[in-house]
Structure 1
Amino acid sequence: MSGKVRAVLMALIAGSGLLLTGCASKPDNDVQGQLLVAPVLNDYKLEMTLAKLSEILVSAKLTEEQRARFLYERGVIYDRLGLRLMARIQFHEALTIKPDLADAYNFMGIYFTQEGDYESAFESFDSVLELMPDYDYAYLNRGLALYYAGRPQLAVKDMKTFFASDQQDGYRALWLYLTEYDVNATQAMTQLQANRALLPADGWASDIVDYVLGKHNDAELLALAKKQLKQPREYVERLCEAYFYMAKVAEEQQKNHKAAQYLRLALATNIYDFVEYRYARVELANLLKAEQPAE
């Protein structure tokens, strides 16, 4: 990639905030049944970056590798804007040009999982790990595909690998717990208690773990979501995560109506690129399907 094109790409990504590290049922009376802030609107900077990338792809003289990378970056922006079909087209085109683009396989695997095409998802994540064996988020995403495909033992194996990469990450501890719960609920809770000792004493992810362990109730967790915020969007992001994990706890308590309401609230935040948003719709569909009377 030429120095000029590389500089343009890095400026676009930095400007759009992409260089980030990176969750019809009747209402229940005890649900905190309201979205506490307005849903996030699309960032105009992302839309401007999208327009600039599109201009470069049309007018700039690019190598095949550069074109594949720009297509991938445009797909990432489409994904953040919630335009999943458009994103998928970009990733597919990028892979057609550059078949060893591991990041694009990772996104395709996520989309296949959301659509319930688990075999294609497994193939995508296996391709990621063949190209980049240390790509730890591929273990998370393959574990999620296994989890939703009803293969919890294999999901646990991937989640253990993912958790081992950073044992101070509360989200990794939570997903390990959720997959282990489907294998043995009692042991999953015991393991989460042990993993809690490895996490920071305080912090938002630790607060969610404490909630799952029964140390906070719903209202307390939502109140904690307001603490130590660094920017306005962060509160909505936390609500997306909080509602998702509150739904999972409600489901464990066999309060499916309550769980469904929380999942709807998670979806109402419009935090499209969070794992909790991505799978809130899958969780909601599974709940509603389970409530349908057998034919």
Structure 2
Amino acid sequence: MNALFVITLAGCSSQANLTPAPAPTSGTEVVLATPLQVSYQSELALARLGQLLSSSDLNNEQRAELFYERGVVFDRVGLRTMARIDFTRALRERPDFAEAYNFIGVYLTEQQSFDEAYDAFDSALELMPDYDYAYLNRGIALYYGGRSKLAVKDLAEFYRHKPEDPYRVLWLYLAESQLDPKMAFQELQRRYNQRHSEEWGWHIVAVFAGQQGINQFLQTVEQASRDNRELAERLCEAYFYFAKLAQLQGDDDKAVNYFKLSLASNVYDFIEHRYALLELQLLAPQGDDAALDDAG
């Protein structure tokens, strides 16, 4: 799911569907895409934006927009420190730049600086009350910060804006699971039965709802992807959520492997990629942080 997704499957009313599907076993298949590389278009965009920013004829508004645009490109190619610097510069030029606050909040969440992240998202929402992705990102920050009730509130608001989006269903389910796993799973099934469509992401929800196996999903994703980029993006998403499913079943070792598979896609600007790294940091044994920093 970028910040910015498939088969209609029959529901099942058996008692087995009252609990989440089991975590993947050692027999689970693995599908890989060629990791995405920095594109010529991104390199050209960075050069062009750098040239434009060197002009002395820009006003504050123009400079803010250019810093923001370059920050987005830096983020897309995985240069997150450079991106954060540009988003900070954009805010210096234009203090009411809601989208820049949103990006800063995401980076603070990745660093586990949760209180500062909440402040950044609060600023974004004060400036743009209907900015639904700020609700998503603040909800995720609250989720990782252990403030489950507030996370559910934000992610429910994000879901309300577009209930047919499968990724909104998944994030709401993950937050609700921290409060009441049985209720959360029943709500997941209800939302799946009401809303599932031909949009690709509903495949992942189907796995969570016990309607499809992971191996079946992986066979489908490989066949249905039009090219390597689409396959990499879909696997980045899927492996992240399969890791979260493994965590719900208490299989942290399986979760670690799936998070690493998500990272291997190099789809840097997907939230699943950025939070896969955070998840690995949270799961890493003490002393392994340096290795994880190198991986990021």
TM-score (norm. length: structure 1):
0.86
- Tell me the residue number matched to 2:112: 116
Counterpart CA distance in 1 for 2:3 and 2:87 is 20
- Tell me the residue number matched to 1:13: none
- Tell me the residue number matched to 2:216: 220
Aligned 8 A contact 1:204 1:224 in 2: no
- Tell me the residue number matched to 1:207: 203
In structure 2, which of residues 114, 125, 129 is the aligned counterpart of residue 129 of structure 1? Answer: 125
1:128-172 deviation line (CA, Å, top 9, x unaligned): 000000000000000000000011111000000000000100000
- Tell me the residue number matched to 2:27: 30
1:255-292 deviation line (CA, Å, top 9, x unaligned): 11111001001011110010110100111122224999
Counterpart CA distance in 2 for 1:190 and 1:147 is 20
Counterpart CA distance in 1 for 2:140 and 2:68 is 23
Task: Point out 4+ residue stretches in structure 1 off by more than 6 angstroms.
Answer: none
1:167-195 deviation line (CA, Å, top 9, x unaligned): 10000000000000010000000101111
Aligned 8 A contact 1:221 1:242 in 2: no
Where do residues 1-295 of structure 1 align in structure 2 (5 Å cutoff)? 22=4, 29-32=26-29, 34=30, 36-59=32-55, 61-289=57-285
Counterpart CA distance in 1 for 2:28 and 2:250 is 14
Q: Which moved more, 1:200-209 or 1:159-168?
A: 200-209
Over the aligned positions, Cα root-mean-square deviation in angstroms equals 2.1
Report the alpha carbon displacement of residue 200 of structure 1 after superposing the two structures with TM. Answer: 3.6
Report the alpha carbon displacement of residue 110 of structure 1 after superposing the two structures with TM. Answer: 0.1
Q: Which runs of 5+ in 1 are unaligned?
A: 1-19
**AA paired with 1:30?**
G
SS at match of 2:81: helix
Counterpart CA distance in 2 for 1:151 and 1:197 is 29
Aligned 8 A contact 1:246 1:262 in 2: yes
**AA paired with 1:29?**
S
Question: Aligned pair in 2 of structure 1 residues 257, 78: CA closer, same or farther (>3 Å)?
Answer: same
Counterpart CA distance in 1 for 2:137 and 2:223 is 29
Aligned 8 A contact 2:101 2:121 in 1: yes
1:72-127 deviation line (CA, Å, top 9, x unaligned): 10000000010000000001111111100001000000000000000100000000
Aligned 8 A contact 1:207 1:224 in 2: no
Counterpart CA distance in 1 for 2:237 and 2:27 is 19
Report the alpha carbon displacement of residue 35 of structure 1 after superposing the two structures with TM. Answer: 5.4
1:34-55 deviation line (CA, Å, top 9, x unaligned): 5512101111101101100100
Q: Which runs of 5+ in 2 are unaligned?
A: 6-24, 289-296
Counterpart CA distance in 2 for 1:243 and 1:249 is 10
Question: Aligned pair in 2 of structure 1 residues 216, 286: CA closer, same or farther (>3 Å)?
Answer: same
SS at match of 1:22: coil
Counterpart CA distance in 2 for 1:224 and 1:60 is 53
Aligned 8 A contact 1:31 1:261 in 2: no
Counterpart CA distance in 1 for 2:37 and 2:113 is 30
Question: Aligned pair in 2 of structure 1 residues 98, 74: CA closer, same or farther (>3 Å)?
Answer: same
Q: Report sequence identity in percent.
A: 45
Counterpart CA distance in 2 for 1:291 and 1:218 is 33
Report the alpha carbon displacement of residue 215 of structure 1 after superposing the two structures with TM. Answer: 1.6
Report the alpha carbon displacement of residue 22 of structure 1 after superposing the two structures with TM. Answer: 2.6
